[in-house]
Amino acid sequence: MPHGPGFAARSDVGSTRTGNEDRFLARPPLFAVADGMGGHQAGEVASELAISLLDETADRSPVLGTDSLVDALERSNAAIRREARLRADLAGMGTTCTVAVLDGEIHIAHVGDSRAYRFRAARLEQLTDDHSLVASMVREGRMDPAAAMTDGRRNIITRALGAEDQVRVDVVSADLAPGDRLLLCSDGLHGQVDDAAIATVLRDEPDPARAVDRLIGLANAAGGEDNVTVIVIDPDMMADAASPAVAVALAVDDDQQESADTAKRTDDSPIPARRPRRAIALFLLLVIAAIAVAIAGWLLAAAISPT
C-alpha cells in the first residue's frame, strides 16, 4: 500500500468483479482517484490515462493550482476520446476523476461520482457533488439519500472523462483546520458504506493505513459489488513530514550530508541540509568578534583612564 507520513492509499478489486478498473495517485501534495468504465479492459485504459496524465503534469510542475488540474482533466478527456476513436475495443470508455492538491487548503477538480470528503469535528462533509442520475434526483428533492444507495440506476453517471468532446470540470476549494482528515474514494466505498460508518472509522482509527484497510473491509463486508479505492490523508502529519528529513540530514557527517543534499535536490525537495550548520558557524564567529571588541574596548579604556 502506498503510504507515507500522513497518508495511505489502496485499491481493491472487491468481492464480485474480476478486474479492477479503479486507479489512483498518491504523490503528496497531489492525490487522485479515477474509476474507469467500459467493456472488457477499456475502463482501466481510461482511468490509467487520466492518472498518468496527472502524474506527468506533477512531474513538469511540482506546484499545481486549480487551473492546471482542470487543464490536465481536459487533456485527459481529449486523450481518452482519441484512443477510443483509434481502437474499436475501447469505444465508449470513460472514467471519473477526483483530484486534490493541498497547499494549506484543499483544491479539487472533479468529474463523475468519485468523492472527496473532509472529516472535521467527527463530522463527514462531502466536498464534491456526484455527477450521477440519482444524485441529481436527490439534489432536486425527488429522491431520498438512503434510497439513492440502493436504487438500480445508481451506476448511471451524467459526466465522465471521455464521454463528450467537451467536459465540464467542477472546481472546489475548502479550508483546512488542525485535526482535519481528508478522504478520497470511488463509489465502491460510498455506494456500499454509509457516511455514518465511514465517519466512525475516521474517528476511531488514527493511523491512515489502518483506516484505509478498515474502510475497504467494510465495503467488502457490505457486498463488495464494485472496485473500491480509498485514500486517507492527515494534512497535519504531512506538514510535519519535512522535520525528520532535516533531523537526519543534520545527524550525518559532512560527506554523507553532501550526498543527502544532492539526493534531495534531484528529488525537488526544498530542504537545505547544510544551511543550519553554516548558520551556527556564522553565529559563533559573531560571538567571538563581539567578545574581541569588548576586550579591546576595555583595554583601551584602561590604557587612557587616569590612574
**Which residues sit at the interface with Mg ion, rule CB under 5 A?**
35, 186-188, 226
Q: Give the integer Cα–Cα distance in Å for 14 and 216.
A: 8
Residue that the C-alpha cell 543527502 belongs to: 260
CB 257 within 8 A of CB 276: no
Compare residues 29 and 188 and give the one whose CB is closer to Mg ion. Answer: 188
- Residue 268: what residue type? D
CB of 82 to Mg ion, least distance (A): 24
Cell numbers for 122 = 467527527
CA 276 from centre of chain: 30
Q: Give the integer Cα–Cα distance in Å for 77 and 100.
A: 18
CB of 226 to Mg ion, least distance (A): 4
Specify burial of residue 192 (Cβ count, 10 A radius: 0-12, 13-18, 19+).
buried
Compare residues 187 and 234 and give the one whose CB is closer to Mg ion. Answer: 187
Q: Give the integer Cα–Cα distance in Å for 249 and 261.
A: 8
CB of 36 to Mg ion, least distance (A): 8
Residue 174, SS3?
A: strand
CB of 162 to Mg ion, least distance (A): 15
CB 238 within 8 A of CB 29: yes
Residue 10, SS3?
A: strand
Compare residues 213 and 226 and give the one whose CB is closer to Mg ion. Answer: 226
CB of 115 to Mg ion, least distance (A): 11
Q: What is the DSSP letter of 91?
A: T
CB of 154 to Mg ion, least distance (A): 10
Compare residues 12 and 187 and give the one whose CB is closer to Mg ion. Answer: 187
CB of 229 to Mg ion, least distance (A): 8
CB of 155 to Mg ion, least distance (A): 8
Q: Give the integer Cα–Cα distance in Å for 120 and 12.
A: 26
Closest-CA residue to 70 (of 42, 39, 106, 108): 108
Compare residues 18 and 305 and give the one whose CB is closer to Mg ion. Answer: 18
Cβ neighbours for 156, distance < 8 A, ≥ 6 positions apart: 132, 133, 134
Q: Give the integer Cα–Cα distance in Å for 266 and 250.
A: 19
